A and B are shown apart, each in its own frame.
Chain A
Amino acid sequence: MVKATSITNTIRGLRFAHGEMTQAALADRVGVTRQTIIAIEQGRYSPSLEVAFQIARVFNRPLDDVFQYPAAQATEEETS
């Protein structure tokens, strides 16, 4: 079984807040496929730092507003 990523994101909410931007439109702006945007939104894929910054730039937000790494899970991972 593939280990799920601990990184969460708010891309779906941000897309709706930006004039209901489609996954395809976001994919075009970032330069990835629509399937990759879907996988990122569903937490099935963690993008590279560069793609993460590109997504944040599309929404004109700092990286922390788009991607989160919850403290509880992060501490658990560090101690295990």
Chain B
Amino acid sequence: MAIEEKRAWIMAVVTIVAYGTYLALVLNAAAGAPLGEAPYVYAMLWTIGGAIVAAILLNILAAIVSPRDGGKKDQRDKEINRLGEHIGQSFVILGAVLALLFAITGLAAFWIANVIYLAFVLSSILGSIAKIVAYRRGFQSW
């Protein structure tokens, strides 16, 4: 497996675990009360921070256990990376537009923060899936 494919797997798994943890924490904290009033800030900051640290550590580990790859990146890796980023980026834009609408219509900060977080999560997961599929199934640059 190419080192870049391993990185895509790491990103997908870390994002899913972090967001799953966040949802569990917030839903638990809401405990039947309206979701918009649930405390979410610490859970959000900790899961985002934790995901960044976990991704860095796992990437270092992946580089250590696969010394033959040596982090080498060629033309195909760059093209696949570009494809994944391109697909992921559309969700960031969608999240930003929704956050804009939420702010204009005066929705609570909870919903604005959460729609942005969800957009980052979807961007990361779908971008990673696109990369993994490109590595597994094949990828043509036209």
Contacts and interface: CB of A to CB of B under 8 A. Distances in A.
B138 A33 contact: no
Q: How many interface residues does chain B have, given as a range? A: 10 to 19
**Chain A contact residues: helix, strand, loop or mixed:** loop
Contacts of A43: 138
Contacts of A39: 76, 138-139
Contacts of A73: none
Contacts of A44: 137-139
Interface residues of A, number: 19
Nearest to A7: B140
A4 B134 CA distance: 12
A21 interface: no
A53 to B, nearest CB: 13
B105 interface: no
A57 B133 CA distance: 31
15 contacts: A2-B133, A2-B137, A31-B74, A32-B74, A33-B72, A35-B2, A35-B5, A35-B135, A39-B76, A44-B137, A45-B139, A46-B142, A47-B75, A47-B76, A48-B141
Interface of B: 1-2, 5, 69, 72-77, 133-135, 137-142
